[in-house]
Chain A
Amino acid sequence: MDVRLPLKLPEFMQEEKNFSPVDFDETSSFRRRPESSVPVKPMDDPGLRRDNGNCGAACLYLPLLAILLLLGGCEDAWNNPYPAKDDNANIYYSSFAERPKHLDPARSYTSSEWAFISQIYEPPYQYHFLRRPYEVVPLTAAAMPQIRRLGPDGAELMDDDEAPAFTEYVIQIQPGIHYQPHPAFATDAQGKPLYTKDWQGLQQVHQLSDFDSTGTRELTADDYVYQIKRLGFAPLHSPIASLMKDYIVGLKEFASQLDQAYAKLQQQSGEEQPWMDLRQFDLEGVEVVDRYSYRIRLKGEYPQFIYWLSMNFFSPMPWEAERFYHLPGLRERNITLHWYPVGTGPYYLAENNPNLRMVLEKNPNFRGERYPLSGEATDAADGYLADSGRDMPFIDRAIYSLDKESIPRWNKFLQGYYDVSGIGSDSFDQAVQFGTGGEAELTDAMQEKGIELLTSVSTSIYYFGFNMLDDLVGGDSERARLLRQAISIALDYEEFISIFRNGRGKVAHGPLPPGIFGYREGVDGINPLVYRVDKGAPVRRSIEEARALLERAGYPNGRDPETGKPMILNFDTAATGPDSKALLSWYRKQFQKLGIELIFRTSDYNRFQEKMLKGTAQLFSWGWNADYPDPENFLFMLYGPHSRVKHHGENTANYSNPEFDRLFDRMKFLPNGEKRQQIIDQMIAIVRHDAPWVWGFYPVDFVLHHQWYRNAKPNLMANNTLKYKGIDTEARADLRQVWNKPVVWPVVLVIILLLLSLLPAIYLYRRHERSTAR
């Protein structure tokens, strides 16, 4: 961004600049007049001449007043943060609160980053926009992968029950897909890259658009293979590198090979970050079959791999892009692959200013994709199939403005300047009310504006964990188990959701949230250790039952039998500051119901993480958001070999149960079906009994959108959903006009009052100047 503002010094400041330094001798040269000096003649007094100046000020105000009154009759919205020429343009407006850190698909792993790059990069597969349960379908791939299960000798296994030594995925991509226009592909007349380190204009480049020429080329299987190689390249810090090294054949060795080669290259070139062409290195488990297909060989079996193939990590990366971004001087100007993606998707990043705004433009080279023809049973009635078969994307441009604070963000949504909004706790009551049946509905004010509300249970969980390595609350003893079960009953998450989440949550009965295979609705899904069933509905067990469990654990009334004093437990949390006070008080109150004294060991998040790594925490709360819609992605957080202390894994409670682990190892490889469901039921029964977590809640997402925004169906797995969305730009422009008429009269009133308030001052001044000295 090049910000140059026309900062003309206002006239009054030019006048102010004329204030000259005081000449101290001036006063001494004044001729002293006698006290009984004659009154100063008004017309001789320069101060009075300034009275005209007061009149002049009024004269200045009057045109201003007139302008305001005139503008008051004007139809245009003054508070429009966008240029007026875009009023009827087919643009989607949204905001982002946190600037993305990395837009490289090998590195990026947060929703704030994927919101952008998922519209640009295209992995071979994607989630179907409408169908539920979530279904993986081809994106750039021509079909679903051909999967072969291989024995140790590489021969295909015919017996489904035999565990494979390798699994092979052959992916065929569609021909005729082209990259967005990009200078990395620009060539000269001989077909050689135009922009090389010898190009003369490099010093004049300050942003990507300073490169005049762009080019494109067809997407090939090489690009997908190149990207998989990048996952193993240590300087890129791919967060899934270590996971993929466990599965992709040869990736671990390949990464070591790259490390050595890169160190050598750094030495030879003398550069800190030279470009290393990964095409010159072979990766055993990944190879190009032909121009449009490639093969990935995995160790053993990993059915969840298909989900990874629908994530940005497996998007294609043209080697030309890496070469281009390593041209001398570009990194110093922040022109890197981290900030300027190169993709084949429906959009490309036209403006990247994470300090201000990110702009996606329709990719002119996009191959075209049709809106889905089918979805869930209710989709047609909900209007989600109205665009079936039409070419996507529907929106020409998407502008995401940086808005860190929730209040301005919310108000801009209400003014129609953002098309979609979440609901912050500050504005919840303004937006949502609960009906007599407890269902969420919009307030009258929102309904009048035609705003629509969409709710969906998130594929996430917030839980309260026990450190299973702790002597008191952890371990496999009956005493500790009963203690944990008692606490599970006492922690009233229905109340928590009501107080702290405005009702936006669903109490969890196990680790699997709704929408994930294995989750059971109704009576079957109720956790019997914490709830009893009353008329088919769960009712939290009474605190008396919890106390009885506590007594059985050897802590009658929550007292330590050895000392007779209340039992003390420590809650390790990063929730500090005044905002967390109510939350911590609530936790304390829950434990007091059992007679247990809860001590808060607060620290910043860094220290908290350190405690978790060392296993010194006792009680804690944490959360998890699904990577993909498979029970494995939740149950692995209770899998012994993933414990945080021993293996630095995601099993933060350090829970270990051999039977659970054994079942997990079986469940992981099974396709969704009755057999898998039975195993999951057994696993959930085990963890409910052991209670390493108090199951907490699944957050419910509330999303508001304006009436002009269509195809808003929530899809919690897909991130590349911008292409499905549509805007009725005329309706938006009309409603913005209606909602944003400037209100000028209070300003006029204030000006008049100010002018009137000057009159006594002027009168007093004149009287003062006319008065004789006393």
Chain B
Amino acid sequence: MMAYIIRRLLYAIPILIGVNLITFVLFFTVNTPDDMARMHLGMKRVTPEAIEQWKQERNYDKPLVYNSSAEGMAKLGDTIFAEKSLALFAFRFGSSDNGRDIGHDIRQRMWPSLAIAVPVLMLGLLLYITLALLLVFFRSTYVDTWGVVLAVVMMSISSMFYIIGGQFLIGKFLQLVPISGFDTEDAWKFLVLPVIVGVVGGIGGTTRFYRTLFLEEIHRDYVRSARAKGVSEMRVMFVHVLKNAMIPILTGVVAALPLLFMGSLVSESFFGIPGLGSYTIDAINSQDFAIVRSMVFLGSVLYIIGLILTDISYTLVDPRVRLQ
């Protein structure tokens, strides 16, 4: 298994270079270094000299990917791409375009992101599995039919609706928790609403997906055998069916685990949570390439880790699976 993991990690290097290159090309297709300078220097009284100075200080005055005036390896090395991207492989994120240390910001902002994402994942998992099993238990009855209809309706509703609706109902109408905001003191008070909204927003799609997985299992021979043994339906569902349906569930959940750090782009902005999701969206809006590339790189690394973890988890769940 170790050889497999090492191989997967080595595969990750070209993937990450590719991701970096695509991010770089996409970003600089939309924003030139001059645009970035203008954005950061402000709207008023920006002179061409100030723009040149800004670019020079941040090495944005170099060629993008190929430096024809340089010699040897410097043709590729003395470029914006090489200079800005290679340090990322050592997890040196550098400074944002307005001078803040990105690594420091990431370390601070991942905690609020996790504070929402982890409870949403855990509570959601429990609720979605329970509801899906309940629908399967009542399969072919009106409970199942209407349950599926409701799930389809819920998955068709935009996440924005859940956010604004949740804020209106729980924050404004019932006045049970703050509408938005965050504080390290009494953090739970600010987390209740985003967590509820996050969990409720996922009910439709995920419950329906899990129901399908469980339905596939419910007619298998081992289930019939369990019933024949006199095992209660509850145990059949929660022990036998659930365990055997875990592989596709794990695929989604384990792969998502590392990405929990990255936070939610929309939800964090609406609830005023100072996490990495709102950090990324702010960087995109302010054309801060340093942050954007760091967050994309971090997201890619975490995603690759998630996939490797998923593969490892298969071996734990299904002994027939061997990683070679």
Contact = CB atoms under 8 A, between A and B. Distances in A.
A13 interface: yes
A110 B45 CA distance: 12
Contact of A411 (B50, B167, B230): B167
B269 interface: yes
A550 to B, nearest CB: 34
Given A3-B111, A28-B225, A353-B274, 14 more contacts: A3-B108, A7-B114, A21-B316, A24-B320, A77-B175, A109-B45, A239-B41, A331-B99, A405-B269, A627-B44, A648-B48, A743-B175, A765-B137, A765-B234
- Interface residue SS majority, chain B: helix
A768 interface: yes
26 contacts: A2-B108, A4-B111, A12-B126, A13-B126, A21-B319, A22-B318, A24-B222, A24-B319, A30-B225, A30-B228, A47-B235, A81-B180, A83-B185, A237-B53, A242-B47, A242-B50, A333-B101, A333-B104, A355-B278, A404-B278, A408-B270, A411-B172, A415-B179, A606-B31, A747-B176, A761-B138
Interface of B: 30-32, 34-35, 38-42, 44-50, 53-54, 57, 95, 98-101, 104-105, 108-109, 111-112, 114-115, 118-119, 122-123, 125-126, 134, 137-138, 143, 164, 167, 171-187, 189-190, 221-222, 225-235, 240, 242-244, 246, 269-272, 274, 278-279, 282, 286-287, 316-320
B44 A109 contact: yes
B282 A99 contact: yes
Question: Which of A21, A332, A336 is most buried by chain B, counting CB atoms within 10 A of its CB?
Answer: A21
A19 B186 contact: no
B175 A606 contact: no
Contacts of B270: 404-405, 407-408
A683 B115 CA distance: 61
A764 interface: yes
B45 A47 contact: no
Interface of A: 1-7, 9-10, 12-13, 16, 19-22, 24, 26-28, 30-33, 35, 37, 40, 44-48, 50, 77-81, 83, 99, 101-102, 109-110, 234-235, 237, 239-243, 331-334, 336, 338-339, 353, 355-356, 401-405, 407-409, 411-412, 415, 417, 604, 606, 609-610, 627, 648, 650, 740-744, 746-747, 761, 764-765, 768-769, 773
B175 A741 contact: yes
B242 A27 contact: no
A407 to B, nearest CB: 6
A240 B45 contact: yes
A355 B269 contact: no
Contact of B175 (A610, A742, A773): A742
A27 B183 contact: no
Given A239-B45, A648-B47, A79 B230 contact: no
A37 B47 CA distance: 90
Given A405-B180, A407-B164, A604-B30, A22 B243 contact: yes
Contacts of B172: 411, 415
Given A20-B243, A33-B230, A99-B282, A81 B111 contact: no
Question: Which of A332, A407, A746 is most buried by chain B, counting CB atoms within 10 A of its CB?
Answer: A407
B173 A743 contact: yes
B230 A40 contact: yes
Contact of B45 (A26, A243, A610): A243
A276 to B, nearest CB: 15
A17 to B, nearest CB: 10
B53 A234 contact: yes
Nearest to A49: B232
A336 B100 CA distance: 9
A79 B175 contact: yes
A638 to B, nearest CB: 17
A27 B246 contact: no
Contacts of B171: 79, 408, 411
Contacts of B143: 761
A402 B274 contact: yes
Contacts of A235: 53, 57
A408 B126 contact: no
A47 B233 contact: yes
Contacts of A405: 180, 269-270, 272
B16 to A, nearest CB: 24
A26 B223 CA distance: 11
A408 B167 contact: yes
A22 B190 CA distance: 38
Question: Which of A19, A28, A761, A769 is most buried by chain B, counting CB atoms within 10 A of its CB?
Answer: A19
B21 to A, nearest CB: 22
B35 A404 contact: no
B167 A768 contact: no
B187 A5 contact: yes
